[in-house]
Structure 1
Amino acid sequence: MASIDECCILIPVSTLEDFPKHAGEQDARSLLAAWTVLWHPELVAASQQTPTWYRADSPPEFGAGRRVIVVPTLSVSQLPADFEANCRANEAIQWITGADRRELLDSLGLSKSPRSLQTEERTIQAEDFFALGYAMLQIQVMTRRLRYTSNLDEIHFQNKLVTAADAFVAGNAGECVAALHDCYDALAEERDHYFSSDPHLVDLTLLSKSTLPAFFSALQNDHDDGGDDASGSAAASTSVLATPRNVLIDAPMASAIAASHSEGLDRLVSQLNRGNWGWAGGGLAGDVSLDAMTYSDTENAIAQAYEATATQIGLRPPVYARYSGTTPTDMTKVIASLGVDGMISVDFENGSGFGDEAKVVRNTGGVEIHALTAKPIDASGESAFLALGPRLGEAIDSGEIATGLLVHWPGYESDSYQDVRRVASWSLVLGRFWTLAEYFRSGEQPYHHDPSGAASSGADNALVSQVTGGQSNALSSMVTQTQKSIANQNQANLQAMIALASGKVCNGSADACDQTMLASIGLKPSQHGGNLCLINPTPCPVRHTVAIDGTAVKEEHIYAVTGSGKQSMVTVDVPAFGFSVARNEAGGGSRGRSIGQRLRDAVSGGGKLCAVDGMLQNAFIEIAIDPQTGGVKGAYSGQSRGNRFSMRLVGVSGTKKKKSIENDSQMVCDQMKTIVAKAERGVIRTIGHFTNPTGEKIGAFELDYQVTRGNRMLDVHGKIDVLAKLEGNPWQHYFAARCAVANEAVSYRMILRDKMHRTSSRRIVAPLGVLLDESDRHTLVASAGLAYHRRVEDRFLDTLLQVQGETQRQFTMHYGFDLPSPVLAARSVVSEPLQAAVETVSPDASRGWLIHAAPNTVLVADVECSQDREGKFFAVVRLIQSQSQTCNTTVRFCRNVTAAVRLDNRRPYDADALAIRLQEQSESPRVEFSDDRIKLSLSGHEVVDVLVQFDA
């Protein structure tokens, strides 16, 4: 190539400090390509100097001499008038434009015969010079943007650059490599002058079924080449630095890999073992909503997905990650129990889950794990690489752990991404590439804690994706999943109750459990309805009203009794993990109440009615139903005077300002009537329609409001018929149950995975409900699986009932006032006690419990019983502190305790393993026990598994 006086680029800045941080993808690609293409060794050798730059809006007047001028698309609009025409008219000037590096090389005539040199350790190409140019740009921009003065010896750098280019053109590989090393070292010294710590770079490949062929092809290329340019750990001892890659393989993708490509799986395992590739994964599929499950079901789902991934791949993932969906902070203990080195909390599909810090400490219940929370960099595009150096430098300057998480699909990799990889193979000037396992094991350790909450990041966006993606019944499917999860837990706990009562592990079918439970507590089933046993296999004490034949006996656990024809309506208190019997005075064979008893009830009135003149009432609450709207006009309860609560149905359409509800629909009551007015229950029904602000009818409703005796809850059973079509974002177009409280200074606490968490989010995902906490009272919105709630203004909370694609028209809501244990109450509305008619029992045997926990903020979530070969009887009891405060907990059992220890993690233990575990820790037990109880301390939101051994 003939000699050139100068190679320059015109860029749209006044100084390098103003170099664009953000630009469209096309402009960024053209700009970075224009900068780096001038570093082609043939151009450097021809000009014998470092490429330079000028301002696009005021370029110099170029005199005589041969020049190459490259103009990126972003600079064209800033050029002075006629400047381009004058340059093109000058035969000594080569005016170059193009959209990317390939076009620019074509214009320069440098793409037709790509040249490479081979040494023992690496292949030298023009791309190594492009990477040097990119590194030079990033270091210079970083230095100026952070207000430092450059210490780069530009003359030395230029001499070494020219030496490398001349050697490349002459075919002298050894001299070229040595000179390039000097250039990269000079840039590294420039960066080290300000920042001695090296940035961390993590190259992460995402997978889908459609990209598997390209991924396996990349693995094959690495295998054929003996590893990527410096990819493997074996390269660490040479002058070529390691630049390993990583791949994310969650449980669904592990199954797809194992099923579709056994040869590719073998190559993957080989690369993982060699260290050329690292990996993360084991996470759940994106359609699994962790927020709809109990804590125990969430733990099981995470563990099963991880173990399935390990089985399919043949290796255990060293780092836990999901492609779609995040893993909330309260599952830290579960992730740590998998034995992983760390976790990635980013939701790559929905673009959420990242934070201000790149690497943080997650600490829950005394268990700690490090999490990668860096915002992903799209390595398939160029825009994110405009200011990669300054971004990493600013992170180091602020004391953070600078991490560049480069994310891409197989085969979708930008030129700048390749430049960064090549730079890292020569020098640590822009950072070091890590496998994910080594990043957590040996990388810089974090000291900042994860500030994110327990809610899954982006859970509200999941609803948007489901609805706009055409999925039907996004709301009711969550209800079904939540109620099924709790029902399965109740069934398992019922079997544990039988085992505790009988001293034998119960393996019977679910249908036979009721009868087995009766036998274990010494009760006999009956064909008559005179004595009724209520069995409560939940951790929540309940007050329930049932009908029995004849006259009921008033006992300590009977809250109230009224007559109803030949029957008695009995309101029974049933303890958690216990039973209560509503007994008949005449025994189980009574045929009914006498004529005299029924006459006395008629004269006395049978007690205060729960429904009177549009008002629902009991000893704790009064609820006024509005005859104009059909909603709740007011609620009166507690020591504070005045109305504390109201509720109505609303239709919301379109985006609105934060504090505007003017465009919401109005509720119009067409009919209101009392359905049930008895001492034990009152029901008022309202029927009406909705109108929009213009008066047009857009829907109809039917609501049954119910208050039962001795209960602090208002039950609402309703049906909505939508006449207006709901389309679009479900958070902006919906029908909802809107409740309001009196105090604007209300705090919102969501109930999630059996714990209560404070939240400031406007969109709340909480299947069990939300607590509206005022200074002197609190109101529980127990939604029984209706998971999506939206705060409106300061005092209003919408619970979504209808969105696009929802076909379930019926719903149930519960509103509780000043409940002593909101979490337990929210769970209690999902299920009712089991009922069984029994033979006559003595007063001493009419009530009992098998497990009792105090205080009432502690939830006994799971109990699993087992026996070893010697007949020793064990139980693993899971305790959850539902509040954020530390508490001293006492748990009593129906059997005496002989040993108790904490379990560090919950694994599938057999009884013999449990016996060994007790022996290992019997000398210094961490749980106090005596007689029938254990005592321990629980920190806020802590989940503890306790292994308990009982008397035979």
Structure 2
Amino acid sequence: MASIDECCILIPVSTLEDFPKDASDDDARSLLAAWTVLWHPRLVAASQQTPTWYRADGPPELERGSRVITVPTPSLAELPDGFEAKCRENASIQWISGADRNEMLQSLGLLESASSLQTEHRTISAEDFFALGYAMLQTQIMTRRLRYTSNLDEIHFQTKLVSAADAFVADDAEACAAALHDCFDALAQERDHYFSSDPHLVDLTLISKSTLEAFFETLKTNGGDGAADSHPASQSEASNGVLGTPCNVLIDAPMAAAIASASEENRSLLRNRLDNASLGWAGGGLGGDVSLETMTYSDTENAIANAFDETASLIGSRPPVYARYSGTTPSDMTKVIASLGVDGMISIDFENGTGYGDEAKVLRQSGGLEVHALTAKPIDASGDSAFLALGPRLGEAIDSGEIATGLLVHWPGYQSDSYRDVRRVASWSLVLGRFWNLADYFRTGEQPYHHDSSSAAASGAEMALVSQVADGQSDSLSRIVKQTQQSIAKQNEANLKAMIALASGSATNVDSHAASPAGDPAVVHAIGLKASQSRSNVCLINSTPCPLRYTVTMDGNPAKEEHIYATHGCGNQSIVTVDVPAFGFSVARNESSKLANGRSLGRRIREALRTGVKPCADEGVLQNAFFEVVIDPQSGGIKGAYSGTSRGNRFSMRLVAVAGTGKKSSVNESSMTCDQMTTMVAKGERGVIRTSGHLSDPQGAKVGAYEIDYQIERGSRMLHVSGKLDVLTKLVGNPWQHYFAARSAVASEAVSYRVIMRDKMHRTSSRRIVAPLGILMDESERHTLVASAGLAYHRRVEDRFLDTLLQVQGETQHEFSLHYGFDVPSPLLAARSVLSVPTELSVQRVESAASRGWLIHAAPNTILVADVQCVQDSQGRLLGIVRLVQTRSQPCNATVRFCRGVSQAVKLRERVAVDADALHKQLAAHAEAPGLEFTHDLVKIAVAGHEVVDVLIQFDA
């Protein structure tokens, strides 16, 4: 190649400090290509100097000398008028422009002349010079942006660069490699002058079913990342001068299943790469179709553990780092993740682009366990935009005291030239950082000291609904309703088995006892009662952690006892409202010692002569001792609710049809019209008002028809709303912008929202909320519970309004159920109680002292006894695991009492198998561990805010 006086680039800025950092991928690709292409060894050898730059609006003079001028696309608009034409007319000027490096190399005539040199340990090509040019650019930008003065010996650097280029042209591989090492070392010393710590680089390949074959091809050719310069982590500079540039892959449970069905050759290849650590990996997480925000804590724990174990089984080894491709793992599940034995976790939802934080690596703690989490914002390695300012970004992180981490994410075979440049740089020097195997990144990398500040309720879970609707899935709303109901029912069934074991002192044959509790005398016998065919004495068994107030009918007249809230006669029977304690039972006893076939004639006459029982429904009004609700005859919704010490209306509700969302609730407002209102039930124990009508859009066209039953019960603070909504128009589009909903409104604009999620209450400021059990609208002097009974998706509108979504695209279930609680003492327990009813059994008469009891009692009321499991060992000793959840964020001293004495109790640090041998080992291992006290039938334990504690107990015989 003929000699060249100068190689230069025209950049669209005045100084390197202003070098673009937010350009589009196309502009970034052209800009970085124009910079790096000038570092081709043949151009450097021809010019015998380092490439330079000029401002696009202040280009060099063209009078003399030959030049190669590269002009990236963003600079074209900055050029002086006529400058490009002058350059093209000048035979000594090579005017180079294009979209990428290959196009520019083609213009230079260097694309076809690509050659390489081979040393003992590496292949040297023009790409190594391009990487050096990129490293030089990033180092200089970082120095200037952070307001440092450059200490680079530019003469020494240029001398070594020219030597490397001359050696490359002369085919002297060893001399070329030595000179390139000197160049990279000079840049590394420049960076070390300001930052002694090295940035961390993590290369993560994402795979899907459609890219799995491409991934296996990269394993066969390049080691897993599709880059020909990939080197395993075990190679070190000391041994051969080539630094390790390991790559990693994310394999969650769905991908593990897909890999399991691949060919044996591919599976063996992957296992070998993982076993010899030439390929790092993370995974074991659930698929994106599983939303952890819609489960109870125990169900979430089981789902995470099962997916992780399934992945380990299918791949043949346990993932060293926990991760999932789609969907985040909330911060309150840290204890579960730590118990899996992983070195760390990635808490990012790659599909939806959420879950990353301000810091790259943080410490997550929960329940006495901790795990390090990678929370760096992912860098799209298939594009070039993020690589414009990679060096300054990492430098700023180091300067601020963070653990600087660049998380480079891409699909198999989809990588940009800039990504490859970074990998080439890292194989020569640590100037831009070191590539890490993920396991080593958490084991031996820089350890975090900042704690994760993310909220468990702010996880981007609302995107799951958008994805499901976009994928054409049906019943996105009702599917979660069914899941929630089944989960609570399963939990109640398990608790009933534990109650039988506790009461009887035996865990054998519990399954058969609990199989049909309504008809099996063994259930009644376990709590010391005897079944009967007569309705004279009725026993209510509550296997839930929520105290219940329930109304039953019985023959005769009930005895006056503390747990009988209210009663009145109805013909031959009595309607009795009974209080049933959590994990306990109550018996409505007949006041007569004999069996009663009905109420006496005299009693019925005396009650008829007295003032009648005030009905719970009358003329559009529902009322009991706690609150009053007025149904609007015009709309058919709730016009007002009145209760508590504050005067005035506190609550209203109506159905809305939303088409597009605006900043104000009145935008695209629908109207609700009542066609008929009827009082269906007006009794002392219950009142029901039914309304029916239609919804109209702003133009007056009917878009929906509804029928709603509003029900109130004696002694309850809950208003029950059940109805049917038929959509008369087609719902299409984003479900958060096109939906039918029940819109609740409170009086005060100074309302805060607490979501009930995974058996805990969390504050949230999100506008789109996922909470299957409901939301607490907390005002300064009162609070209103929206217990949604599985309807998980809610949207805040302005400050006072809350929409609970009832219909979106693809939903086929038209019936819905909602429950509104006014100043309920324990909102979370109340929200769970709407999904539970006590078991009702007829029993023989018992004495007053035995007419009520509990088997487990927890205090304070913020403590939820979420799960109870009992087993019996070969010696007949009864063991149990009791899970306690502090539902609030404040710590407390919890006490749990049992119907049976406690001989030993320990706090478990992690999830264990529920079998007698394993539990005895835990008792021995934790015997001296502090954390709780026990005496007689009482266990005391300090519980942190939102902590989940498992207590292992050995009960007295």
**TM-score for the superposition, normalised by structure 2:** 0.97
> Aligned runs of 1:305-384 on 2, under 5 Å?
305-384=307-386
Deviation at 1:223, TM superposition (A): 6.1
Cross-structure match for 1:220: 220
Cross-structure match for 2:640: 634
Separation in structure 2 between the aligned mates of residue 641 and residue 54 of structure 1, nearest angstrom: 74
- Describe the SS at the equivalent of 1:260: coil
> Aligned pair 1:421/2:427, yes or no?
no
Deviation at 1:332, TM superposition (A): 0.7
- Describe the SS at the equivalent of 2:799: coil
1:903 to 894, 908, 911: 908
2:457 to 444, 455, 458: 455
> Aligned pair 1:512/2:513, yes or no?
no
> Aligned runs of 1:791-802 on 2, under 5 Å?
791-802=796-807
> Aligned runs of 1:823-862 on 2, under 5 Å?
823-862=828-867
Cross-structure match for 2:773: 768
Deviation at 1:620, TM superposition (A): 0.9
Cross-structure match for 1:731: 736
Separation in structure 2 between the aligned mates of residue 46 and residue 69 of structure 1, nearest angstrom: 14
Separation in structure 2 between the aligned mates of residue 924 and residue 53 of structure 1, nearest angstrom: 67
Contact 1:614/1:674 (8 A) holds in 2: yes
- Describe the SS at the equivalent of 2:529: coil
> Aligned runs of 1:35-46 on 2, under 5 Å?
35-46=35-46
Deviation at 1:854, TM superposition (A): 0.7
Which deviates further from its counterpart, 933-942 or 215-224?
215-224
The 1:920–1:448 alpha-carbon spacing in structure 2 relative to 1, beyond 3 Å, is closer
Deviation at 1:608, TM superposition (A): 1.9
Cross-structure match for 2:631: 625
Separation in structure 1 between the aligned mates of residue 41 and residue 376 of structure 2, nearest angstrom: 36
> Aligned runs of 1:458-497 on 2, under 5 Å?
458-497=460-499
- Describe the SS at the equivalent of 1:524: coil
Contact 1:588/1:838 (8 A) holds in 2: no
Separation in structure 2 between the aligned mates of residue 923 and residue 807 of structure 1, nearest angstrom: 56
- Describe the SS at the equivalent of 1:38: helix
Separation in structure 2 between the aligned mates of residue 623 and residue 733 of structure 1, nearest angstrom: 30
> Aligned runs of 1:167-316 on 2, under 5 Å?
167-222=167-222, 229-235=230-236, 237-238=238-239, 239-316=241-318
> Aligned runs of 1:656-667 on 2, under 5 Å?
656-657=662-663, 659-667=664-672
The one-letter amino acid of 1:862's match is D
Deviation at 1:366, TM superposition (A): 3.3
Cross-structure match for 2:600: 594
Contact 2:235/2:242 (8 A) holds in 1: no
Cross-structure match for 2:115: 115
Contact 2:244/2:427 (8 A) holds in 1: yes
Contact 1:291/1:456 (8 A) holds in 2: no
> Aligned pair 1:28/2:34, yes or no?
no
Separation in structure 2 between the aligned mates of residue 74 and residue 620 of structure 1, nearest angstrom: 70
1:881 to 878, 886, 901: 886
Cross-structure match for 1:692: 697
Contact 2:583/2:855 (8 A) holds in 1: yes
Cross-structure match for 1:163: 163
State the Cα RMSD in Å.
Answer: 1.8
Separation in structure 2 between the aligned mates of residue 566 and residue 481 of structure 1, nearest angstrom: 41
> Aligned runs of 1:521-920 on 2, under 5 Å?
521-585=527-591, 590-657=596-663, 659-920=664-925
**TM-score for the superposition, normalised by structure 1:** 0.97
1:391 to 390, 393, 398: 393
Deviation at 1:607, TM superposition (A): 1.9
The one-letter amino acid of 1:892's match is R
Separation in structure 2 between the aligned mates of residue 508 and residue 947 of structure 1, nearest angstrom: 21
Deviation at 1:444, TM superposition (A): 1.6
- Describe the SS at the equivalent of 1:629: coil
Separation in structure 2 between the aligned mates of residue 816 and residue 436 of structure 1, nearest angstrom: 48
Which deviates further from its counterpart, 491-500 or 79-88?
79-88
The one-letter amino acid of 1:90's match is N
Which deviates further from its counterpart, 623-632 or 152-161?
623-632
Contact 2:517/2:839 (8 A) holds in 1: no
Separation in structure 2 between the aligned mates of residue 624 and residue 591 of structure 1, nearest angstrom: 39
Separation in structure 2 between the aligned mates of residue 596 and residue 614 of structure 1, nearest angstrom: 35
- Describe the SS at the equivalent of 1:234: coil
Separation in structure 2 between the aligned mates of residue 159 and residue 312 of structure 1, nearest angstrom: 55
Q: Percent identity?
A: 71
Contact 1:228/1:276 (8 A) holds in 2: no
The one-letter amino acid of 2:379's match is I
Separation in structure 2 between the aligned mates of residue 548 and residue 541 of structure 1, nearest angstrom: 21
Contact 1:615/1:623 (8 A) holds in 2: yes
Cross-structure match for 1:9: 9
- Describe the SS at the equivalent of 2:78: coil
The 1:924–1:275 alpha-carbon spacing in structure 2 relative to 1, beyond 3 Å, is closer
- Describe the SS at the equivalent of 2:313: helix
Cross-structure match for 1:437: 439
Cα deviation code 1:233-276 (max 9, x no counterpart)? 13354211111101111111111112213222222222223222
The one-letter amino acid of 1:455's match is A
Cα deviation code 1:300-330 (max 9, x no counterpart)? 1101111111111111111110000000011
Deviation at 1:834, TM superposition (A): 1.5
Cross-structure match for 2:97: 97
- Describe the SS at the equivalent of 1:811: strand
Cα deviation code 1:804-826 (max 9, x no counterpart)? 22111111111111111111111
- Describe the SS at the equivalent of 1:176: helix
Contact 1:243/1:432 (8 A) holds in 2: yes
The one-letter amino acid of 1:572's match is V
Contact 2:907/2:926 (8 A) holds in 1: no
Which deviates further from its counterpart, 583-592 or 336-345?
583-592
Contact 2:751/2:777 (8 A) holds in 1: yes
Separation in structure 1 between the aligned mates of residue 372 and residue 478 of structure 2, nearest angstrom: 36
Contact 1:365/1:941 (8 A) holds in 2: no
Deviation at 1:832, TM superposition (A): 1.0
Which deviates further from its counterpart, 98-107 or 501-510?
501-510
The one-letter amino acid of 1:799's match is T
Deviation at 1:801, TM superposition (A): 1.1
Deviation at 1:513, TM superposition (A): 4.3
The 1:318–1:723 alpha-carbon spacing in structure 2 relative to 1, beyond 3 Å, is same
Separation in structure 1 between the aligned mates of residue 926 and residue 81 of structure 2, nearest angstrom: 85
> Aligned pair 1:932/2:933, yes or no?
no
Which deviates further from its counterpart, 75-84 or 789-798?
75-84
What is the total number of aligned residue pairs between the two structures? 951
Deviation at 1:785, TM superposition (A): 0.7
Separation in structure 2 between the aligned mates of residue 722 and residue 275 of structure 1, nearest angstrom: 56
Separation in structure 2 between the aligned mates of residue 787 and residue 937 of structure 1, nearest angstrom: 32
The one-letter amino acid of 1:564's match is C
Deviation at 1:180, TM superposition (A): 0.4
- Describe the SS at the equivalent of 1:716: strand
The one-letter amino acid of 2:214's match is A
The one-letter amino acid of 1:502's match is S
Which deviates further from its counterpart, 814-823 or 734-743?
734-743
Deviation at 1:576, TM superposition (A): 0.6
Contact 2:557/2:599 (8 A) holds in 1: yes
Q: Where in structure 1 are there 5+ consecutive unaligned residues?
A: none
> Aligned pair 1:19/2:26, yes or no?
no
Deviation at 1:662, TM superposition (A): 4.4
Q: Where in structure 2 are there 5+ consecutive unaligned residues?
A: none
Contact 1:533/1:835 (8 A) holds in 2: yes
Separation in structure 1 between the aligned mates of residue 467 and residue 213 of structure 2, nearest angstrom: 28
